[in-house]
Amino acid sequence: MELPDSLMLKISHIKEDNCMKQYDYSGAKNAVLVTLQKYDDLLTEEERTDLKNNLKIWTALEKQPGQKVIRNGNTRVKMKKDVANLKNLTITTGRDSMNFIFDTGANISTVSASTAKRLKMKIIPADIDVDAITGIAVKADLAVCEKLTLGNITVENAVFLVFADQALSFRKSAIRSMEF
């Protein structure tokens, strides 16, 4: 018995999501390609646009190593509130440390271009459209941070969205998601 295309479309979306959560960027790319090629007629224009944007992300990352989290013991980290009352965590990369806004709702961590350069992240041109709170799409690239630490936790190959400095309306240079 063959499954209907509507169900296969849902399975294809789940496959992309699973690959993303396992940091299998090539697998996520292939899942999106299958969705666009086989189930295009079932997609809304908004879904098609989102998938094409996802394809840019996974294509840019497909040759990058997946993120790894290494726990070297228990970690308790105190969050510090900044002047805007946002919670911040101190992240260390190499010899440099800085405060990142901690956003549990973010899908991907965010940095400004100057912060990515300062922390020597590998910047990957991707030309991704990210919807801002204003409803206007803002262009972003990607970056991979080879190694960052948070207490006794080491994150290798963490992926960040990189925005032009002027595109970020707040004074903070980085936002860390909870995805690690």
For the stretch 40-64, pLDDT in tens is 999 999 999 999 999 999 999 999 9
Going along the chain from its start, the domains and CATH numbers come out as 5-61 (no CATH), 68-177 (2.40.70.10)
Show Cβ contacts of residue 94 under 8 Å, excluding neighbours closer than 6 positions: 119, 120, 147
**What is the predicted pLDDT for the residue at 170?**
54
pLDDT tops 90 at residue 168? no
Share of the chain above pLDDT 90, in %: 63
**What is the predicted pLDDT for the residue at 172?**
47
Q: Which amino acid is at 144?
A: V
Tokens of 178: 């909870």
